[in-house]
Structure 1
């Protein structure tokens, strides 16, 4: 397989601290057979249609695809430019299928992350059970104090809720810039803040990770910051030492077979790390257009106050076994993608006839000023409301106010979607999710891919701004570049839309206590900042 060198994966199943957890896992039978037309052909002029892949495979309905497809070797040799275009499309297809899989209904009360083969993503509006990703663990459930890891609820992966109730939880105190809930969750703290929609309500954010990442943290004890520090220093002294720092898992054969630490996981969970970020907007009760959203009633405070919310954005970061080659020290690869609700910045999909529907994050009609056109918004980033701050959360980087104006922030898209992305979106939104399966079209057709970030494909070109944009930011391997300089979700990175991307941020992620002299060490480029949420035991620090 052609691959992208990268970093992380996730892991194992239900091994507690003292042995394997017994879950009584159920295996619902499938209720639908999916048509070949669901497969997308990235190269229609050079071969037959591709085989139908996950999450549509019989016996594995709802499963995440494990690896992206590779272009035909003959095409790569005879027409490398076309081959690069086709390969990039295959990344889009891989992440569209990943999006469908993580949003597949989970088994209520089953193992966290278990897709329900007895249901499909085509359930009725507002009736879909919790999605697979919604049952993943949150960082605050993993990166707690070491003594709490003696509690089975912490040390075991556990089971999904039996209903669709949700709650936004505070993030660990020690991540002072990374503050989900009302502040956009990423580590360029000086450039982020809350987003206020056109109804004057704050968008809410959350982060979750899959079982493989949880198993990795448990296996190596990296919930303890002191263990990370020791592993980093050991790697610097002797990279081949048994207790030297390990990257998050890619789901490669060394991890998923034999004695690999992911081998005991259920088959649907034996993949690399999956890290998701989500954004939700409050929906007016009874509004006529609520049926365009994946809806949840979510508790927003410690008193249990609930409000109706709709999903407006989802980031997915994956580590895969593509290009695994132990002889070359290649553990696997990475790919990231971001999806948005179609009504976020414009109304251009299944436009209601004669309605008054306007975008969630601007009044409609496009940017009104040169500043909005160039940067996606105008003015200053608003402060966070003190009243909406959850217990234990750090102050917002943009400041905190006790008297928020709740004035809407007008957000526009700076970088338009490419023709290739528009084409594959059309397929998945209309041909796939717009199909009637079991009498229902999927509400997930109201979501679309903005783009992916992966290893650069094809030759480099520098003559035009468009060509230079395709020579993207450096990835997790020194000197290896990605496919774009600009990959932004207007609902998740509203205030950094100019020449910014997932990798520009995440390439700076490293384990706890990495010394400055090793800041460019590839082994420490984990692409996830979550390791920094680990806590020290009392009295311990990076310099014990």
Structure 2
């Protein structure tokens, strides 16, 4: 039985009743503003109200979609970073080889902009570096003590194994590498600024004081509630209720937000070209070995991670373009379909392609030496005609409840390019079978709503027993030298974000900190 048709029928009934209409329900009020929390649309005036009960898992998925819409709302030209344009409309469906307007998350700061040597602070949020349709990529950089002795090229390796040891790149069916970017929102920036965590020395000192207090008192230190409070101990990442966020505009007054995005090169001619209208598009320039920039290349968004922190907790979610591993189906599709998915040649007999462990290189998977090695800093890229394609499939199916929410929002957005994107899932504490011994944050797949949550463009090579939580459980501020126990007193050290590890020491001489550019651009 074709489950996609079943899902379509159920979704349409839920949306419109028994009769299908030709007008989509409206988006929630002020959709350009991210929801403050799962159960609360806008920030509270003073304190977060007590909840009548836990939200449902479906509400978490709705929260993820609304966050996705707000992050991809058009940026207000000449506004501050992250400022949406309330008068704009979401990117339309236009099957032209042209870039779309700049969106909110693209104007957020890159970690490399925030974590300059402390001697170069203050850094100001201000306006983005560009508001045009062409921009330079903002890849994640790798900092610290590298396990293998050499730093890694930014933006081309998959940056998920740990903060500074990535896994190798992904090669699509056109033999082009996927590219990766990372940005962080205003509240995260203000947190780093408020407590001086752009300096690794400050982080380490604050962590030492936090641990001493937690061990002595048997509880976590009280967080600072005002500028006059003691903030010398490490402070929890922002949920949106903090005093230092009070003066932010409504569109920025949420908790920690960080984005990780994956892009593909759009092939516009030759055999089996891409259908540009099915992608959110951006012209990007990539660094050349001599430090200069290559010519602009039209890219299509294929993967999108969101990490948000709210009073409810850590709420990671992940989205993909619908054609990544199987051709997306939609009713009354105004665009032609591609000949094959982005990341595999297609299945047989009308079924999607399937590979052991979710990937295949030359017919092999899950054996040593198959996964491409990560590029080290300064390495030239393998020429296009010598690259091995990575065939990718999805190991864990998208849950039915997620598919239903996808149909709802894809219908709401049916006139927008964002209707060609889908939520793969979200990870949060288990709402169906609550665990009274649930650890802090998302203490792992064993206590969360899912054991597997993987984006095929960003965690291609670890699709079994892997998730946002399993990866980000290894993220701590600098100064944490051993894994803290899952006890409430250490909860605030489980920051679930690797970005603080990019901070440099203010006691060391300032050095050039440009994100490494010594890797070749797209040929």
Q: Same fold (TM over 0.5)?
A: yes
- State the match for 1:451 in structure 2: 425
Q: CA deviation at 1:169?
A: 3.8
- State the match for 2:20 in structure 1: none
- State the match for 2:406 in structure 1: 425
Q: Secondary structure at 2:57's aligned position in 1?
A: helix
- State the match for 2:496 in structure 1: 527
Contact in 1 for aligned 2:201/2:507 (Cα 8 Å): no
Q: CA deviation at 1:67?
A: 1.3
User: Is 1:476 the equivalent of 2:441?
Assistant: yes
User: Is 1:415 the equivalent of 2:390?
Assistant: no
Residue 194 to residue 473, structure 1, CA distance change in 2 (3 Å): farther
- State the match for 1:313 in structure 2: 303
Q: Secondary structure at 1:281's aligned position in 2?
A: strand
CA RMSD of aligned residues (A): 3.4
Residue 87 to residue 529, structure 1, CA distance change in 2 (3 Å): same
Q: Which whole-Å CA distance do the structure 2 matches of 1:127 and 1:369 have between them?
A: 30
Runs of 5+ unmatched residues, structure 1: 1-37, 45-51, 71-82, 323-332, 387-392, 435-440, 462-470
Q: Secondary structure at 1:362's aligned position in 2?
A: coil
- Quick one: which of 471, 479, 486 aligns to 2:452? 486
User: Is 1:501 the equivalent of 2:460?
Assistant: no
Q: Which whole-Å CA distance do the structure 2 matches of 1:483 and 1:136 have between them?
A: 30
- State the match for 1:136 in structure 2: 108
- State the match for 1:276 in structure 2: 259
Residues 391-443 of structure 1: per-residue CA shift (max 9 Å, x gap):
xx488xxxx8656721210000001111111111111112x001xxxxxx100
Number of residue pairs aligned between Structure 1 and Structure 2? 434
Q: CA deviation at 1:538?
A: 4.3
Residue correspondence of structure 1 range 110-121 to structure 2 within 5 A: 110-121=79-90
Residue 237 to residue 190, structure 1, CA distance change in 2 (3 Å): closer
Q: CA deviation at 1:225?
A: 0.2
- State the match for 1:344 in structure 2: 324
Q: Which whole-Å CA distance do the structure 1 matches of 2:251 and 2:434 have between them?
A: 38
- Quick one: which of 244, 255, 270 aligns to 1:261? 244
Contact in 2 for aligned 1:335/1:453 (Cα 8 Å): yes
Q: Secondary structure at 2:244's aligned position in 1?
A: coil
Q: Secondary structure at 1:96's aligned position in 2?
A: helix
Q: CA deviation at 1:519?
A: 5.8
- State the match for 2:232 in structure 1: 243
Q: CA deviation at 1:65?
A: 0.8
User: Is 1:442 the equivalent of 2:416?
Assistant: yes
Q: Which whole-Å CA distance do the structure 2 matches of 1:40 and 1:526 have between them?
A: 41
Q: Which whole-Å CA distance do the structure 1 matches of 2:352 and 2:338 have between them?
A: 24
Q: Secondary structure at 1:444's aligned position in 2?
A: helix
Residue 183 to residue 299, structure 1, CA distance change in 2 (3 Å): same
TM-score, scaled to structure 2? 0.75
Q: Which whole-Å CA distance do the structure 1 matches of 2:173 and 2:38 have between them?
A: 38
Contact in 1 for aligned 2:283/2:299 (Cα 8 Å): yes
- State the match for 2:340 in structure 1: 358
User: Is 1:230 the equivalent of 2:205?
Assistant: yes
Q: CA deviation at 1:91?
A: 0.3
Residue 304 to residue 191, structure 1, CA distance change in 2 (3 Å): closer
- State the match for 1:66 in structure 2: 36
- State the match for 1:98 in structure 2: 67
Contact in 2 for aligned 1:316/1:338 (Cα 8 Å): yes
Residue 526 to residue 447, structure 1, CA distance change in 2 (3 Å): same
- State the match for 1:47 in structure 2: none
Residues 265-320 of structure 1: per-residue CA shift (max 9 Å, x gap):
11111110111100000001354611110011100123242111000010001111
Q: Which whole-Å CA distance do the structure 1 matches of 2:355 and 2:437 have between them?
A: 24
TM-score, scaled to structure 1? 0.72
Q: CA deviation at 1:122?
A: 4.7
Q: CA deviation at 1:539?
A: 4.1
Q: Which whole-Å CA distance do the structure 1 matches of 2:478 and 2:259 have between them?
A: 21
Runs of 5+ unmatched residues, structure 2: 1-10, 18-24, 41-52, 214-220, 223-229, 510-523
Q: CA deviation at 1:376?
A: 3.5
Residue 472 to residue 118, structure 1, CA distance change in 2 (3 Å): farther
Residue 222 to residue 247, structure 1, CA distance change in 2 (3 Å): same
Q: Which whole-Å CA distance do the structure 2 matches of 1:190 and 1:229 have between them?
A: 21
Contact in 2 for aligned 1:475/1:503 (Cα 8 Å): no
